[in-house]
Amino acid sequence: MKVPGLVERVQFLAWKHRQQCPIVRIMTRSVTASFCADSVQDVVMIPQTQWESGKSPFSNQIKQAAHKHFARSDSRIDEVYLAYISITIEEGCGAMTAPRYHPVVKYIHSSALATVTAVDYAAEVLRLRGEPKSATFVRLTGLQGAAQLNGREAVLRGQDPNNPERVTVSVVNGGATISVRSHNYEVIQRPKVFIDDFV
């Protein structure tokens, strides 16, 4: 939960491949109080055909637990998914969980499942949490006075009332509102993800 977008990435992959009874593996360097985005190395979907095979990265105990989960008569692939957090510093060290999907995944458009990546989906969900759908998101670029903000996302707020050659933007994730020139941002092309995006 501490890594922005990680749960969304995992849920997107699990939902997209739910017919394959997957385990979504989150590989991390460590799981500590300081767990952050830099500690996540990879997020991959492993379908049942692979996790049941001899080439599986999972122990027999994990495979048996997964098989038991999916074989249960009350198992609902559209309600619960399996995720395995693997700590790469220790071979075979990890934990499996069976969380519920967030209700929003049921509104992902079928074409988005084929064209949108898990990373792009997570980014769009995070954008929608803080701003209305009509918000214009931009990526800051070429800043000199605040070069540390280059590459960061921001929301376009409108004309700077103090300078007609500039606009104000609010940097996403706790950043300040700053004034920039038009050549210091590029508009982010947001993916169509949800059913109502296609209406």
CATH code: domain 128-198 is 2.30.30.30
What's the predicted TM-score (pTM) here?
A: 0.85
Q: How far apart are CA 177 and CA 198, in angstroms?
A: 32
Task: Tell me the pLDDT tens digit for each residue of 21-66.
Answer: 999 998 887 655 455 556 677 899 999 999 998 778 888 888 999 9
SS (H, E, C) 50-61: HHCCCCCCCCHH
What are the residue ranges spanned by the domains of the chain? 6-107, 128-198
Q: At what angle do helices 118-130 and 6-16 cross, to 10 degrees?
A: 130
Task: Tell me the pLDDT tens digit for each residue of 157-185.
Answer: 999 999 999 999 999 987 799 999 999 99
Q: Cβ(156)–Cβ(142) under 8 Å? A: no
Q: How far apart are CA 188 and CA 23, in angstroms?
A: 32
Q: Cβ(144)–Cβ(125) under 8 Å? A: no
Q: Which of 116, 186, 112 has its CA nearest to residue 156?
A: 186
The residue to which tokens 């006075």 are assigned = 145
Q: Cβ(119)–Cβ(97) under 8 Å? A: no
Distance of CA 42 to the CA centre of its chain: 12
